[in-house]
Amino acid sequence: MAGRCFLRSQAEALLAADFFETVTLTGARMHILAVIEHATRRVRILGATAHPTAAWVYQAVRNLAMDLQDAGCRARFVIRD
């Protein structure tokens, strides 16, 4: 219950990020990094790669932060799995 109240009260400031995996038509596995904005439920695909590294994720999140800043977004927290 407390978690639900927190999410509602902080929805404007929350993003949740996670990877999901897909298989291409050629059989290659791709890892896709996605973020959801809790307030709008908008999903952003940050990128896809066969071999995610910490540097790749860091750059994708930096790019997202710049895009959000340009759009005037107030997000302050990222929840990751």
Distances (CA, A) of 16 to 7, 13, 43, 79: 11, 10, 9, 5
pLDDT at position 52 is 93
Mean pLDDT of 9-23: 81
Structure confidence by residue, pLDDT tens digits, 17-48: 899 999 999 999 999 999 988 778 889 999 99
CA 11/CA 37 separation, integer angstroms:
8
Global confidence as pTM: 0.74
What does pLDDT average to over the chain? Answer: 83
CA distance 4 to 36: 16
Q: What gap in Å lies between CA 49 and CA 21, rounded to an integer? A: 10
What is the rounded distance in angstroms from the CA atom of residue 60 to the CA atom of residue 2? Answer: 31
* Type of residue at 26: T
